[in-house]
Structure 1
Amino acid sequence: MLRLLHVRDFVIVDEAEISFSPGFTVFSGETGAGKSILIDALSLALGARGDTGLLRTGADRAEISAVFQTPDSLRTWLEERDFDPHDDLVLRRIIDNQGRSKAYVNGVPANLGMLRELGACLVDIHGQHAHQGLLNAANQRDMLDQQGGLLELARDTQHAWQSWKQALEALQAAQRNADAVQQERDRLQWLLSELETLAPQPGEWEQISNEQSRLAHGQALLEGCGRALALLDDESGSALQALNSAAHQIEPLLRHDSQLQSTLDALESARISATEAVSDLNSYLGRLELDPEALARADQRVSELFEAARKHHIEPEELPALQERLSAELAASNAAIDLEALQARVAATESAYHGVAGRLSKARRKTAQRLSREVTAAMQELAMQGGSFEIVLEACAPGPHGKETVEFRVAGHAGTPLRPLAKVASGGELARLSLALSVIASQAAQVPTLIFDEVDTGIGGAVAEVVGRLLHQLGDRHQVLCVTHLPQVAARGKHHFEVSKSSAESGTLSDIHLLDEQGRIDEIARMLGGMTITDTTRRHASEMLAG
C-alpha cells in the first residue's frame, strides 16, 4: 500500500508530506484547492509524462517521492534489476525548469518505463473523466479485455494479425514483381559466379602483393643482402673483425680503469648482434631464389584481383566481403521469388491468427456475460432500478483487434429496449455506469491501492450514499483513496484529509492536513451547506458520520 507521499514545488503545492493508512481515505476541499493535484503528483512518481508546466511558479524543480510497502510479488523484479528489495519501495521523480526529468527506484537511477511497470502493480487510478471514455468503441473493447484479464491475449491477436498481413504483403509483392525479381536474381548469379571462379580469400591481397613485390625484386635482394653480408663478415676489413679487434684492445686496459667495462660490454653486445645478423642473412640468402615462373603466377593473380576490384569499384581487399554480400542477396532473392514458400507462410500465419483470435472471442463472450450481469445488478443500487446492461459482441471481418466488435448497450428503465450506450445514456447515467464498472473492476484488482479521482461527479442524494458504502466496502480489501465533493461519500471514509488554498507572496498555495473528529464535522457541514456552517448542518454532519 501507499505509505507516504512527499511533494515539493509542484503546481501550487510548495511542500507537503502525507502519511497514509489502510482502509478508505477521502480528500475534500473547495474547487481549485488542489485535490486532484495530489493524484497528478502520484501519477508523476508512477511514470506519467511531465513538463515544466507542473513546476510551482518560480521554482527550479519539482520533486515527488512516493513510499510504498513492497509487495512480495515485486521482490524478484526488483532483485533482477539491482533495486534492493527493502520493506519500503521508494519511487522518486524530479523535473527541473529546463524540462529534464530524473527517476529513481530505492535511490537507484531508473527510467520512466520502469516506474510505469511498477506503478501498474502498485496503484489503479480511476479518473474523473472516465465516464466520457465509455462512449468510445475502442475504450469499450479495451475495458472488456481488461475486466477479463485478456490484455495479453489481445496483444497476441494483434501480433498474429500483423504477421499474417506481412506474409500476405510479401506474397503479393513477389507476384507483382516476379519478372523484376528474376532479372535481379540472374544478375546476382552472374556476378557471384565470376567471384566464385576468382575465389578471393580474406587477407589474400596483402599476401600476394608482398609475394609479387619480393619475386619482382629478387635480383636486387640477392645483391643487396650479399653486399651487406660481405661488410659484416668478409675475410678482411669486415665489421665483425673490427669489433673483435676493438674488444681485444679494450680488454687489457680494464686493469688500469674499470670504467671501460661498459665500453667493452657494448662492443660485446654489438659483436653478438652482428653475428646474429650474419646468421640471419646467410639463412635468408639460402632460401632466396630467382623464380620467374612464380613471379609470373603472382603477377597474374594480382592482375586478376585488381581487375575484379576495378569492375566493382572497390579495393581489392574488399572482394571477399563483396562475395559474401552478393551471396546473401541472392539467397534473399531466391526466397522472395519462392511463391510456394510464401504461400505456405501465408497459410501458417492465417491459421495462427484464427487460432488466437478464436480463443480471444471465446474468452470475451464469457467475460461479457459475467460483466453484463454484475453491472445490471449494480445499476439497481445506483438509482437505475429495472435497468439492464449488456455487452454485445457481433462478428466482423478479421482485424488486429479480433473477429468481433464490442458494444455496450443499456436500458435505463424496465420495459425499455437495450440501445447503444452513446445514444441513450444521460450524463448522470454515464457517470453511474462508469462508477459501477470501476467498482466491479476494483473488486477483482490485484493492486493494493485504488484511487478514485472525483468519479462520483454527476450523482447525489441516495445514490451518493450507495457509492460511499461501496467504496467503504472496497476499503476492507484494498487501500482506497478518493477525491470527492460529496458529503455522503466523505462521511464513509475512515480517514479524511482537507485540501485548502491560501494566498502568499509567491502566489496561491495548497495545503493538506488530516482532520480530527471536529474537523471532519465542520468539513462535511461545509460540503452540505456551503461556506455558512450552521448548527443544523453540523448536527446533520455528525449524524452522517455516526451512521
Structure 2
Amino acid sequence: MLIIDRLELELQPGLNVLTGETGAGKSILLDSLGFVLGWRGRAELVRQGAAQGEVTAEFQLSDGHPAHGILAEAGLPGGAQLILRRVNTADGRKTAWVNDRRCSGEVLRALSETLVELHGQHDDRGLLNPRGHRAMLDAYAGHEALLVQVRDSWSARSRARRKVEQTEAALAAVRAEEDFLRHAVAELDKLDPQPGEEAALDAQRRMMQGAERIRDDLARAFQLLGNEGAEGAMGDALRWLEGVSDKAGGRLEAPIAALGRAMIELGEAFSGVEDCLEALDFNPMELEQVEERLFAIRALARKYDVLPDDLAGHADTLRARLTALDAGDADLAGLSKELAAAEAAYDAAAGALSQARLGAGAALDAAVMAELTPLKMERAVFQTRLEPSEPGPEGRDAVTFEVATNPGAPSGPLNRIASGGELSRFLLALKVCLHGDDRGVTMIFDEIDRGVGGATADAVGRRLAALAEGGQVLVVTHSPQVAARGGHHWRVQKDVADGATLSTVVPLGAEDRVDEIARMVAGDTITDAARAAARALLAS
C-alpha cells in the first residue's frame, strides 16, 4: 500500500498510541483501515510497481455485537472472529471478503458502522454529521422506552391513515358512478331477468312464429286421423272383421289383433296432434309480449356487457356496491375517529419525547461545558438545538449540536464554527459525554489534539484514556502528553532499503517509549532534559 510493503499491527485493549514524524505513514495506515472497511474515498492504495495491495482486519465480536445481525442478513458466516479482507489491483479493481466469503462494499460499510468510529477534524461520518445527532441525544438520555412508544404510535397512526385514505378513494370512485349504479339497479330490478329465461323465451317465440304456417296442416292431419278419417275407417274395418272371424277358421285373428294395436297407436298420434293444436292456439298479443321481453333482456345484456343468464348476478353486484356506498359514510366516520385517536396518541408520545429531549439536551449541554473547562475552552458555548421537523417514527424533532467559540459570538454547526484545534476539543468533550454502550466499537482519533499543548494536551490525554477503559481506542498524535497516556505505543517510521522508501510500525518498550516521547518534546536532538520530561509524563 503506497510506501508499505508488508505490515502487521495488533492493537490491544485500552488506549493505543501511534506516533511518528510527519510523513512517516500514519495517515496511510488509517487509509488502509478505511479501505478494508469499505469507506469511500479510501482507495487507490497500490504501491508503484506492485500488482495489488491487500488489507486484512480482524475483529473479536462479543455475543451481542450488532455485527452478528448484519452477517446473518447478508448470509455470511459468523462467529466470535470476524476477518475482513479487501484487495485493490493495479488497474483499480477491488474485491472484498468477509470470513473468506465474497461480499460487496455495501456490506463492508454496514459492518464498519458497528466496528469502528473515526473522529477527527474531517470526520463527516460521526459527531460532525447532524443527521446522527438526534440518535446520539436519545442514546445519551436512554430514551429507548419513549422511542418504542413513538414508533408504535406512528405505526398505528400510519395504518389508520391508510385505511381512511383507501376508504375515501373507494367511496370517491363509487360516488362518481352513483347515478349510474342507481339507474342500473332500478332498470335491472324492474325487468328482473332470470337465469335461463332468454333461451326459454327464444324457443317460445320461434314456436309462435311457426304456428300459423303449420296450423292448417295439423288441422287437416287431425281430421284425417279422427272419427271422420282413419280412426273411423279402422274402427269400421275392425267391426266387420270381428263379425266374420268365427267363419274364417281362425285366419282373421292375427289381422284383428294387428288392427287393435294400430288403433292404440293411432289414438296416441291423434292425442299428440290434438295437444299440439291446443298449444298453437294463442292470442297474437302473446307473441308480441314474448318478443318485447326477449329483446329487452338481450338489450340489457349488451348494455352491461354480460351474458343474458348473468344479468341477475350483475344486478346483485351493482346492488352490493350501492350498499357499500350507503354504508361507506358510516364506515368513514368510524375510521376517521380511529385516525383522530391514533394521531392524538402519537402527538402525546411525540410530545413526551420532545420534552424529554429538551431536558436531555440541557443536561448534555451542561456536561459538555463541564468537559470544555479543563480543555481550556471555558468561554465557549455548546448548545443542543431542537427544532420542529416533519413527524416520523422517531418523533418530530430535528436535533443539532451547535457551538459558539466565545460568548456573544453567533452559534452554528460544529464543523463550520470551530477552528481545527477547537473542533478537536469540542469533539473530544462531546464524545466523553456521549460515551455509553459502545464498548464493542473501536474508536479512532486522528490527530484530535492538533493545536493544543501543555495542560490542555494533558487533559485531552486523560479523557482519551478514560474513553479507552473497558474498550479500545486508537489515537494518532503528535502530543507527548497524549502519547504518555497510552497503554500501548507504536512508532511509525520510514526506512530506506535498496533505494526504496518503506513505512514500518515498531512496537515500543519502556525505554524506547521514553526516547520517542522525548523526541516529541525536544525534536530531532534528544537531550537528557527531554528524557527526564518524558519520564515525568509517563510517571504522571
* 1:525 equivalent in alignment to 2:518: yes
* 1:514 equivalent in alignment to 2:504: no
Structure 1 residue 469 displacement after superposition: 1.6
Q: Is the Cα–Cα contact under 8 Å of residues 431 and 459 in structure 1 kept in the other structure? A: no
* 1:66 equivalent in alignment to 2:57: yes
Separation in structure 1 between the aligned mates of residue 375 and residue 99 of structure 2, nearest angstrom: 43
> Which among 530, 533, 536 is matched to residue 540 of structure 1?
533
Change in Cα spacing, 1:101 to 1:409, as seen in structure 2 (3 Å) is closer
SS class of match (1:531) = coil
Amino acid at match of 1:21: Q
Separation in structure 1 between the aligned mates of residue 503 and residue 145 of structure 2, nearest angstrom: 41
Q: Is the Cα–Cα contact under 8 Å of residues 52 and 98 in structure 1 kept in the other structure? A: no
Partner of 1:22: 13
Write out per-residue CA displacement over residues 321-345 of structure 1, whole angstroms, 9 at most, x where no aligned residue: xxxxxx9xx9xxx9x9997698678
Separation in structure 2 between the aligned mates of residue 132 and residue 163 of structure 1, nearest angstrom: 33
> Which among 85, 88, 95 is matched to residue 92 of structure 1?
85
Q: How does 1:124-523 map to 2 (within 5 A)?
A: 124-130=117-123, 138=131, 140-141=133-134, 143-148=136-141, 347=340, 350-351=343-344, 353-354=346-347, 357-385=350-378, 389-394=382-387, 396=388, 398-400=390-392, 402-408=395-401, 416=407, 420-422=411-413, 426-427=418-419, 428-502=421-495, 508-523=501-516
Change in Cα spacing, 1:535 to 1:69, as seen in structure 2 (3 Å) is same
Q: Is the Cα–Cα contact under 8 Å of residues 119 and 427 in structure 2 kept in the other structure? A: no
Write out per-residue CA displacement over residues 129-160 of structure 1, whole angstroms, 9 at most, x where no aligned residue: 24998777556445434534669987997998
Separation in structure 1 between the aligned mates of residue 358 and residue 105 of structure 2, nearest angstrom: 35
Separation in structure 1 between the aligned mates of residue 90 and residue 483 of structure 2, nearest angstrom: 37
Write out per-residue CA displacement over residues 33-63 of structure 1, whole angstroms, 9 at most, x where no aligned residue: 2213323322333342367523333433332
Amino acid at match of 2:531: R
Separation in structure 2 between the aligned mates of residue 119 and residue 133 of structure 1, nearest angstrom: 12
Q: Is the Cα–Cα contact under 8 Å of residues 444 and 473 in structure 2 kept in the other structure? A: yes
Separation in structure 1 between the aligned mates of residue 29 and residue 471 of structure 2, nearest angstrom: 19
Separation in structure 2 between the aligned mates of residue 453 and residue 482 of structure 1, nearest angstrom: 6
Structure 1 residue 519 displacement after superposition: 2.5
Change in Cα spacing, 1:517 to 1:526, as seen in structure 2 (3 Å) is same
Change in Cα spacing, 1:170 to 1:140, as seen in structure 2 (3 Å) is same
Separation in structure 1 between the aligned mates of residue 126 and residue 99 of structure 2, nearest angstrom: 35
Q: Is the Cα–Cα contact under 8 Å of residues 439 and 471 in structure 2 kept in the other structure? A: no
| TM-score (structure 2 length as normaliser) | 0.59
Write out per-residue CA displacement over residues 192-243 of structure 1, whole angstroms, 9 at most, x where no aligned residue: xxxxx9xxxxxxxxxxxxxxxxxxxxxxxxxxxxxxxxxxxxxxxxxxxxxx
Q: Is the Cα–Cα contact under 8 Å of residues 28 and 483 in structure 1 kept in the other structure? A: yes
Change in Cα spacing, 1:542 to 1:145, as seen in structure 2 (3 Å) is same
Unaligned runs of 5+ in 2: 185-192, 194-301, 306-317
Larger Rg: 2
Change in Cα spacing, 1:535 to 1:35, as seen in structure 2 (3 Å) is same
Partner of 1:41: 32
SS class of match (1:30) = coil
Separation in structure 1 between the aligned mates of residue 454 and residue 47 of structure 2, nearest angstrom: 37
Q: Is the Cα–Cα contact under 8 Å of residues 129 and 455 in structure 1 kept in the other structure? A: no
Amino acid at match of 1:432: R
Change in Cα spacing, 1:79 to 1:111, as seen in structure 2 (3 Å) is closer
Amino acid at match of 2:10: S
Structure 1 residue 513 displacement after superposition: 1.4
Q: Is the Cα–Cα contact under 8 Å of residues 405 and 418 in structure 2 kept in the other structure? A: no
Structure 1 residue 377 displacement after superposition: 1.6
Change in Cα spacing, 1:531 to 1:101, as seen in structure 2 (3 Å) is same
Q: Is the Cα–Cα contact under 8 Å of residues 457 and 482 in structure 2 kept in the other structure? A: yes
Separation in structure 1 between the aligned mates of residue 346 and residue 453 of structure 2, nearest angstrom: 47
* 1:32 equivalent in alignment to 2:31: no
Change in Cα spacing, 1:104 to 1:397, as seen in structure 2 (3 Å) is closer
SS class of match (2:56) = strand
Partner of 1:275: none
Change in Cα spacing, 1:398 to 1:380, as seen in structure 2 (3 Å) is same
Separation in structure 2 between the aligned mates of residue 159 and residue 127 of structure 1, nearest angstrom: 37
Separation in structure 2 between the aligned mates of residue 375 and residue 96 of structure 1, nearest angstrom: 45
Separation in structure 1 between the aligned mates of residue 425 and residue 355 of structure 2, nearest angstrom: 28
SS class of match (1:511) = strand
Give the length in aligned residue pairs: 412
Partner of 1:244: none
Write out per-residue CA displacement over residues 257-297 of structure 1, whole angstroms, 9 at most, x where no aligned residue: xxxxxxxxxxxxxxxxxxxxxxxxxxxxxxxxxxxxxxxxx
Separation in structure 1 between the aligned mates of residue 95 and residue 353 of structure 2, nearest angstrom: 39
The alignment yields a C-alpha RMSD, in angstroms, of 5.2
Partner of 1:230: none
Amino acid at match of 1:466: A
Structure 1 residue 479 displacement after superposition: 1.9
Change in Cα spacing, 1:33 to 1:157, as seen in structure 2 (3 Å) is farther
Write out per-residue CA displacement over residues 409-431 of structure 1, whole angstroms, 9 at most, x where no aligned residue: 65767xx4696245996524333
